[in-house]
Amino acid sequence: MSKPRELSPVLERFLRYVQVDTQSREDVEAVPSTPGQLALAKLLAGELRTMGVPRVELDEHGYVMAAIPSNLPPGHPAAGRVPKVGLIAHLDTSAAAPGAHVQPQLLTYAGGDLRLPRDPSVVLRVKENPALKGLKGRRIVTADGTTLLGADDKAGVAVIMALAEELLAPGAPLHGEVRIAFTPDEEVGRGTSHFDLARFDADLAYTLDGDGCGELNAETFSADSATVTVHGRATHPGMAKGVMVNALRVLADVIVRLPMDLAPETTSGLEPFIHPHGAQGEEAKATLRLLFRDFRTAGLVEQRRRLEKILAEVRRRHPGARLELQVSESYRNMREGLEKEPRVTAALEEATRRAGVEPSWVPIRGGTDGSRLTAMGLPTPNMFAGGYNFHGLTEWLSVDALEASLRAARQLLPVWVELSDPSRAPATAAGASGAASPRRRAAAPRRRSPRSPASPSRRSSRPAARARRT
């Protein structure tokens, strides 16, 4: 790892924060679901107080909220007009790969495929990571091959913390009131379950939970979760003929009937999917957990009907079993809500350009806390933080992209001052007009699924989406 004197403040923070184990757990109802999240929350709250942030709150659920006052001088034309801007990142990391004892590896990328040091069978391949092609001679961070890295979302946490320190130092850019929030359990869908909008007190917000350099997100999946429960009948297997109803076999019949042309492994871009992601049980009772995902909220109804048809078929095949279906709302596509507040995306695109980065609007094949917050009335698009390959052993971070994220977040604040200044707003709005309705540029080409393409009107109006968390 490079010597500490070579580390920028944001990189130093990132390398420290990823070493705190904050994996969340779906099977724990408490929020936060793991003690490591609360440990990181306490660390961040303490660091914010040490910086001199005047209002820092940490609640029993692990939410950290802080407020930085405006530094606009008296008499400034935008004084009292600038909306309160929120910056949000999540504390937890995914449980999809080991997350304890993360050992970040900071290195200068020499080009080509990269074998990770603790497990050489784990290879960061250029073919799977085209962003590496432009980073030869630049610094990247990986894990050691035995854990995920945690850039999702420790990169966003580090950017916000580094920016907060800058805003309290002499020479800070002019800004209105800034709100900060760090949330628990985003990865298990509960990041906003105890989010107090009134206490946060922002007019708009941005999650720093995105991927590579310049990627901005104003559109996500709409999502529901489903649970199929099969009630069978257990008896001694030696005397089971005509008596036993094996719930596991019934559940297997459900799984094999799920359409493979609507699976995550066969879809990309804007195509929907139904994803069985967890099962457990025994002869008497078995359960299956599924994800419904579609960029059209109406498509979730279609997916539910398709699953209900499968269950009806399985009931006929296994008349002695009882099958139950429960469906719950997870989140909705943020696009509709954000289109009602065009300046929120306009400011983000303008800030990204001022940071020296070409913005690219990419729909997310997943969701963020911003999906729910936008539905709750707080418009919250997502911006990049520099990480790639989230949720796996080959997760990595571009140091250049991390630092570009900090520059873009820093630029957001004076952009909002200008947008709120009656003497400057028209010129600034003209400069950012392209973002009022985000121009969603196509992501890198992706493998097409074997199923029939969507209607031309739907496909032609949107680029391929970036594969992300569910």
The catalytic residues are: 92, 186
Strands laid side by side in the 322-331 sheet:
273-281, 285-294, 222-231, 322-331
DSSP H or E segment with residue 66: strand 64-68
* 391 φψ region: left (φ > 0), alpha (ψ -120 to 50), beta (else): left
The span from the CA of 161 to the CA of 14, in Å, is 10
Contact partners, residue 202, CB within 8 Å, separation at least 6:
83, 84, 85, 86, 179, 378
Nearest-CA neighbor of 365 among 433, 462, 245? 462
Q: Which two tokens stand for residue 174?
A: 């002019």
Both tokens of 99, joined, read: 């997350």
Q: Is 106 helix (H, G, I), strand (E, B) or coil?
A: strand
Strand partners, 398: 140
Helix and strand element counts for the chain (H, E): 12, 20
β-sheet with 215-217: strand ranges across? 55-58, 64-68, 178-183, 85-90, 204-210, 382-384, 215-217, 360-361
Measure the CA dihedral 257/287/266/331, to 10°.
120
Question: How many angstroms separate the CA atoms of 163 and 229, rounded?
Answer: 47
Burial class of residue 298, CB neighbours in 10 A (0-12, 13-18, 19+): exposed
Question: Exposed, middle or buried by CB within 10 Å (0-12, 13-18, 19+), for 450?
Answer: exposed
Two tokens, residue 302: 């279609």
Length reported for the chain: 470
> What does the block give as tokens for 324?
């139950």
